[in-house]
Structure 1
């Protein structure tokens, strides 16, 4: 199985917490970028025997900054270049307010069948504070537009532990989100990343965040409410109705291979991880000269592959399968990571069964502490 990730770096506005590769849309050569993106896909796959592609994910940046003809041109190329499975999951990330009926129809015509929308909060004041330019009204209008066009596989992203956010506010956001009864929800605790506006504010002592206790309470409430509303947790930050789990993200967490295309995109093929140049000009120039825009590659050692299998796979509620581990690496998981399993099990963070190792509910609160033990 193969997955395809495509990066669209353009944004109309930069969110204060975002550390993804992005540039302001205004004045950018978007058409030329799409042309070179298609060229990269053609060059990277030329002469390569391709497995069936089960998932395609167009992320960003803001992919819905593309206009209808750009969306159709890009999608047509994906269908032409890759052997897509009949039930391929074809996702587009979107911002509320970008999803006009005509744009959604263009996506539908192009074979897109899943939308992942960055809502983050149902509090307009909080949305302003984190640098979002949409409003709650835009969220509801986008949902109505998706229903009108016939998109059923819809996910929204939420962020908790935001600056100035109270537990009561997050509960209100979660109730409004769950009232939509969507098939999939992602909810992440805010992480302050370097090179973001929030990071600079934090360095100056100007960013007031909820306490660790408040953050833990928000996460506990999230898990309980999702369960109560029939959205089963299948990964630390992801919840879905049965059959609507993000197949694309499961590729990452299962440490499977995938192509990465676009400025700053990462890929993982034949035990080699690679990343493309991030700055737009540095990404585009090699392609204009018929060279791939790869910035760096890393061939993983067997030890590194096994470590990645653990810290990625333990994000899944189902954990890491011992049979699958042996099939991939020819080693017993219990023997290879005996000490790490013992330490984390004794702390009550890890459950070690005959079939797998997985985080306990308490371990989900402390995922990074657990993962470090396996490195």
Structure 2
């Protein structure tokens, strides 16, 4: 494949190889999971346990993560959900794969984990400690929004059960945009929660920003960064907006009567360059393609394990597991998930066994995220030599005796660079997955109904009540 100079910016690649429910069908799940009783290939003993908490008060317009309205689940239904999480956890504990693994981090994501009762998270943490080796657990981290963290002394309660780190979704400080994007928390609550986090004594916290939002100007992105820097989070994650086909969000943007101005490719490129330059002027370290820090030079440990070959066990609907080449995704449906757990069935939607070659190739696909790649970690760099040389010619990467580096120009195109290292099989699979999702009226992100416009939900039963 001949690589041309990039013109359309692609989003960062966060999953490789891709899981596709149409291509990665598992005929016999228990037999498939017997692969977890084999000897470890990569020798990395770290394990991250991810728990998906799929409840939200309000569905932000742009979000494609699996979630369901909290109002559909009373206290007892939520308790039953977390009991199912604990049961799923116990279903995995006896596999040989986990007997040599040491839990390095526990992560609660969503959804909005900060909405639920802290005692439910305590129950899961205790279950993990009783069934897995947590002697070297470095971190318990949780995602949350300011509105829910400020209620009922939640911040104090989560701290008391052992949560050390928080990830706070901000997206933008622009009040008009926040309202249009259906973001629940107010700007005032962002300031208030930051003050309380620092007062209580959390080890650290990160905050998310998003750019190329509908109607957003380049200067607004710069203003958002400068405002967030004043708050002092240890890490700032910043992403360009993704708009998935088949969704209500895309439909509203295309109609043009709700947002004054559509996101554009031109602004995406300009804003990406502005993000990089603004953080550089503020003397922040770019620790990953989308992460910046004033103090740190490396990514948070749970993020590093995820991208750098460590094992990740995902619990809950739609969660993904990456266990030394045994990669699978759970069903994206709470009721189906709980029914399968209740029957003693593994709630797996699709899965694959990743070849040693693809696991090695993953290092090159994720190299743009880290901005550097140690060449000695690759089994055979010559496999990628023609691609490397072409990207060097175009000025996107550089090379010395020991490392490959993403150049300043390349930092604007990290998603594009990553896709250049896809295998032919993976390129074909991505295309098939996308086309199948389009045909089935699904959101291509998770191959489910999340955010799908009502007109396209012929095969889906659950309503999506965003507007």
Q: Normalised by the size of structure 2, how large is the TM-score?
A: 0.75
Corresponding residue number in structure 2 for 1:44: 92
Tell me: CA distance 1:56–1:227, structure 2 relative to 1, closer, same or farther (3 Å): farther
Tell me: CA distance 1:364–1:154, structure 2 relative to 1, closer, same or farther (3 Å): same
Query: 1:215 deviation in Å?
Result: 2.5
1:355 to 380, 402, 410: 402
Matched, 1:2 2:85: no
Matched, 1:248 2:311: no
Distance 1:140 1:237 in 2: 23
| Between 247-256 and 291-300, the greater mean CA deviation after superposition | 247-256
| Between 63-72 and 244-253, the greater mean CA deviation after superposition | 244-253
Deviations 1:10-33 (A, max 9, x none): 111101111111111112221111
1:53 to 91, 100, 103: 103
Instruction: Give the 3-state SS of the residue equivalent to 1:337 in structure 2.
Output: helix
Tell me: CA distance 1:42–1:21, structure 2 relative to 1, closer, same or farther (3 Å): same
Deviations 1:101-158 (A, max 9, x none): 7212222222211100001111111111111011100101111221221113010000
| Between 294-303 and 34-43, the greater mean CA deviation after superposition | 294-303
Instruction: Give the 3-state SS of the residue equivalent to 2:72 in structure 1.
Output: coil
Contact 2:286–2:297, Cα closer than 8 Å, also in 1 = no
Gaps of 5+ in 1: 326-330
Corresponding residue number in structure 2 for 1:167: 218
Corresponding residue number in structure 2 for 1:261: 315
Q: Normalised by the size of structure 1, how large is the TM-score?
A: 0.93
Gaps of 5+ in 2: 1-45, 423-467
Distance 2:418 2:160 in 1: 42
Query: 1:210 deviation in Å?
Result: 3.9
2:380 to 311, 314, 332: 332
Contact 1:254–1:313, Cα closer than 8 Å, also in 2 = no
What are the equivalent positions in structure 2 for 1:169-318 lying under 5 Å apart?
169-204=220-255, 208-240=261-293, 241-242=295-296, 245-317=299-371
Instruction: Give the 3-state SS of the residue equivalent to 1:275 in structure 2.
Output: strand
Q: CA RMSD in A?
A: 1.8
Distance 2:385 2:255 in 1: 43
Instruction: Give the 3-state SS of the residue equivalent to 2:106 in structure 1.
Output: strand
Tell me: CA distance 1:124–1:266, structure 2 relative to 1, closer, same or farther (3 Å): same
In terms of fraction of residues, the more strand-rich structure is 1
Distance 1:244 1:129 in 2: 35
Distance 1:121 1:77 in 2: 37
1:134 to 161, 185, 189: 185
